Structure 1
């Protein structure tokens, strides 16, 4: 069973088409990258996957469960790190995690076990009593990842999670998520507009003006472009007169 299935997804803001005929699937336990320039439709897609927007046309299945017909079952299999942080800066790391666990209805025992497990997995044990406000950007993102994984989802979505981080923190975050994917059989969808966050063995989808213009493993996709992802990306995302959707 695929971790995520998206079929014939369309979405419009009034007369403006933001996504058109978008279909793809994510294999379980795989790091997949969604690459697109700003305005390609990545954030709109994430909003649909997380039910911030209602589906207009098309189908989304998470772990085999329809987001339209069985939203609760689908969303319990999904963890999300949004581009804009939603942490409470005046709570400490552990308090942020416990508050999120309560929203998911976890018992006291479940919360204790999972908070300890995530603090260890994200390397945050020594920072558990620190207020989030005192953390740097990279550690705040780790708190958000810990929070997203508390309810033990099998699919983790990260929407431009490295935005605003310095180069070293961006690299560290990307490596950390890949390690989680590899060591815990976690499926990951990493959205970005930065080519250096994509590796040659990743599953890759390129989104441009609301359409998927390429899909496959990176090293296969770049074979006809001198092995250069930059050339492939530039060729597929040239501006057109119609302009790009939000």
Structure 2
């Protein structure tokens, strides 16, 4: 099994799109997949309970299928920061509450599992904790999604440094262009490749251009997930 925690430089950087794309790419290879969204705000009320659009997008790429609660154990209605949404719901959310369902997800043993965070690396939880503490508790390598817009280089470098300072390996990064009119786009991508790849030691898993109607299948074709699945590939070769 290969498992990763996926974070981003900011909110709306494209975490879910990339998570779904990675899982879709793995499914194309015939691999089993699992995805998690431990805490999600901005959920809608349905007859089945609170449901989050991002978690549903992840659920659609899980093979074999997973129950919603296994993917998103903490669903919150207000579309605000998770720790604020939890307070408004009268809940206290911490790593001790989020880690067990995510460990249960990992224990399913899918060939590739991606657990998606909320917002950026230092999004707060309750009791003085951050969502990054969950990644640390789970001891997962990290995939970083860079929302490419003005300011992305600084945000990406700071996030990479914070992840590495926390003792976790950055398994790779994805550039997701979220500004359709991004000035000097190629120059910015070159700078990201230098600071994250050459200087930071993290391989680029792909560049997702600005897309008017992005889908997991489109993104899957733009990603190189080989660095994320090499252990599965080695195992498959041995089994042959």
Q: Which has the larger radius of gyration?
A: 1
Query: Is the shorter-chain TM-score for this pair beyond 0.5, marking a shared fold?
Result: no
Instruction: Tell me which interval the TM-score lies in, with the shorter structure as reference length.
Output: 0.3 to 0.5
Report which of the two has the higher share of strand.
1
